[in-house]
């Protein structure tokens, strides 16, 4: 029903063409320059840090911009180095060329090189300024300042983001509608992170992806995990170590639990990055990695050795590793879907210990994974031990409206039906300007990636719809500004 209404509305909009030849090789991101902006450390206190600043990194390209008139496309950086997101969001550049836009990618505080306290930023007592609210204020201030610097005061701003960045693009439109005219929130799990929904949903949907790929795949995975459990109960740790090719010998139940988390994380990443072509976004993965992984486990007579080969699609893409260091390759944290490793992982761990709720669990009933509970009580204990903080489980529902978004406007919520995060997002349009789009055959924010010959037809159509909607927002914002200027001039001329 929503799509019918949307198509009817879009017939009234002028066409925007996105046709272009498929790139023979990786696109060179047009004219991106890396710059630093002196950002205020604490936007919400006039005393704590006395207006001290830190260097916030951002990337900018004016290659396609119609100076002073074209829109500004602003990517709300998420939990990582901003270059990673710029290099995997070619749709924004394709659209910028069509709509003559200035492109800005802003790095999130505490990630990449945007560190409020340098290398000490993720140490205890230095993390207090790592909040969604501070990050959004960073973006609002940066946009406002850069518009002045570029002579772009009258240029409408459209926010873009994927995953957590998609949440931020939606929040930015909701909190600062005076700054951004609209937002594309791709694969944004707005409901999950607010603690709404089913905690079994995520790993159930990961399982469903593997089930769709091959009927025997899930059965083989279940058998492998069951055999590992049986070997664990009998104390046959050496056999587990040998068949799973771990670098250090499995020697107790805690090691087996770590192994389960390590393996489950590979399935998660392969489901999220299940693109129809080779990528190196969050690890080097082949085209259709879920299918490749299923082929690996089914090809092995021994289920555990097959499981080892399957997780190697993610952990050993080069094929050169002789064994898996399960403690280095995977570190458990307050996000059961994985935090990664390194300083960015530490920052994300803190965020999911404070505002962002991700208490997903696997139960071996609705999913194929070992039972690995993660309750609110377990999260609270972990976060207190690690960070000396206690999560505020309901804060996002209050501060960012939870599921009650109907008073917002001009936001596209896009989700791929292969993406396990989709179940925690907005999947039905809420109003004529709060539009949900589903990408059939699409993984995690596939629409933000550039055109590729292997794209499913659905993502091509969704990108065209997104382009037309964004074009309409830009034109509407320009019209409103002209009307406001005329009204102001008329009022000023009255005696």
pLDDT digits (tens, 9 = 90+) for 327-351: 999 999 999 999 999 899 999 999 9
Indicate if 394 belongs to the active site.
Answer: no
CA-closest candidate to residue 76, choices 43, 41, 111, 42: 111
Q: Which residues of 92-114 are buried (b: 16+ CB within 10 A; e: fewer)?
A: bbbbbebbebbbbbbbbbbbbeb
Token pair listed for 364? 């071996």
CB 72 within 8 A of CB 159: no
Interatomic CA distance for residues 478 and 69, integer angstroms = 9
Q: What confidence score (pLDDT) does residue 418 get?
A: 97
300 is catalytic: no
Does the structure show a pLDDT above 70 at 11? no
Overall average pLDDT of the 192-209 stretch: 96
419 given a catalytic annotation: yes
pLDDT at residue 489 greater than cutoff 80: no
Terminal CA-to-CA distance of the chain, rounded, Å?
53
pLDDT confidence of residue 7: 39
| In contact, 281 and 296? CB cutoff 8 Å | no
- Tokens standing for 494? 């009255």
Catalytic hit among 163, 241, 362, 409: 163
Instruction: Please determine, for residue 482, whether its predicted confidence score (pLDDT) is greater than 70.
Output: no
pLDDT score, position 17: 35
Q: Is 50 left (phi over 0), alpha (psi -120 to 50) or beta?
A: left
Tokens of 110: 């505490």
Let me know: does 282 contact 81? Beta carbons within 8 Å.
no
Contact 91, 470 (CB under 8 A): no
pLDDT in tens, 104-137: 999 999 999 999 999 999 999 999 999 999 999 9
Alpha-carbon separation of residue 174 from 180, 262, 290, 352 (angstroms):
9, 37, 36, 21
Name the catalytic one among 43, 241, 409, 444: 444
Q: Copy the structure tokens of residue 8.
A: 């009817």
Q: Distance between CA atoms of 371 and 191, rounded to whole angstroms?
A: 24
Residue 487 has pLDDT above 60, yes or no: no
Please identify which of the residues 138, 205, 417, 419 carries the catalytic annotation: 419
**In the chain, % of residues over pLDDT 90:** 85
Average pLDDT of the chain is 91
CB 261 within 8 A of CB 372: yes
Residue 14 — pLDDT band, cuts 50, 70, 90?
very low
Contacts of 477 (CB under 8 A, 6+ apart): 156, 181, 182
β-pairing, 53-61 with 72-76? unpaired
């Amino acid at each position: 029903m929503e799509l019918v209404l949307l198509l009817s509305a879009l017939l009234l909009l002028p066409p925007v063409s996105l046709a272009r030849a498929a790139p023979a090789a990786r696109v060179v991101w047009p004219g991106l320059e890396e710059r630093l902006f002196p950002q205020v450390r604490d936007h919400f206190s006039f005393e704590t840090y006395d207006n001290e600043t830190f260097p916030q990194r951002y990337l900018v390209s004016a290659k396609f911009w119609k100076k002073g008139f074209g829109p500004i496309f602003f990517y709300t950086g998420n939990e990582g180095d901003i270059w990673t997101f710029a290099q995997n969001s070619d749709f924004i550049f394709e659209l910028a060329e069509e709509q003559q836009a200035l492109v800005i990618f802003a790095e999130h505080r505490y990630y990449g090189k945007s560190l409020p306290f340098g290398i000490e930023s993720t140490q205890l007592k230095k993390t207090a300024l790592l909040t969604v609210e501070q990050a959004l204020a960073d973006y609002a201030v940066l946009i406002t300042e850069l518009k002045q610097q570029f002579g772009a005061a009258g240029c409408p701003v459209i926010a873009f983001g994927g995953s957590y960045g998609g949440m931020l693009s939606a929040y930015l439109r909701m909190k600062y509608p005076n700054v951004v005219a609209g937002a594309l929130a791709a694969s944004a799990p707005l409901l999950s992170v607010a603690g709404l929904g089913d905690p079994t949903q995520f790993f159930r949907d990961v399982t469903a992806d593997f089930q769709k790929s091959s009927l025997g795949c899930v059965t083989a995975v279940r058998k492998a995990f069951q055999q590992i459990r049986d070997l664990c109960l009998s104390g046959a740790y050496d056999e587990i170590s040998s068949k799973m090719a771990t670098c250090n010998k499995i020697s107790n139940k805690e090691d087996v639990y770590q192994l389960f988390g390590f393996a489950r994380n590979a399935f998660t990443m392969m489901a999220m990055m299940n693109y129809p072509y080779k990528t190196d976004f969050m690890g080097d993965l082949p085209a259709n990695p879920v299918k490749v992984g299923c082929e690996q486990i089914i090809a092995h007579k021994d289920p555990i050795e097959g499981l080892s080969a399957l997780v190697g699609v993610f952990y050993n893409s080069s094929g050169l590793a002789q064994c898996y260091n399960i403690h280095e390759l995977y570190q458990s944290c307050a996000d059961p879907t994985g935090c990664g490793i390194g300083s960015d992982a530490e920052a994300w761990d803190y965020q999911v210990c404070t505002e962002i709720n991700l208490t997903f669990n696997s139960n071996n009933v609705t999913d194929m994974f070992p039972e690995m509970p993660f309750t609110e009580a377990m999260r609270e204990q972990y976060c207190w031990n690690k960070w000396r903080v206690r999560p505020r489980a309901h804060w996002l529902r209050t501060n960012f409206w939870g599921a009650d978004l109907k008073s917002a406007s001009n936001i596209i919520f896009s989700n791929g039906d292969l993406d396990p995060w989709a179940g925690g997002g907005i999947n039905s349009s809420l109003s004529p300007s709060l539009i949900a789009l589903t990408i059939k055959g699409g993984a995690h924010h596939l629409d933000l990636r550039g055109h590729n010959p292997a794209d499913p037809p659905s993502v091509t159509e969704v990108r065209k719809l997104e382009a037309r909607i964004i074009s309409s927002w830009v034109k509407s914002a320009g019209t409103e500004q002209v009307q406001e200027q005329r009204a102001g001039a008329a009022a000023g001329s009255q005696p």
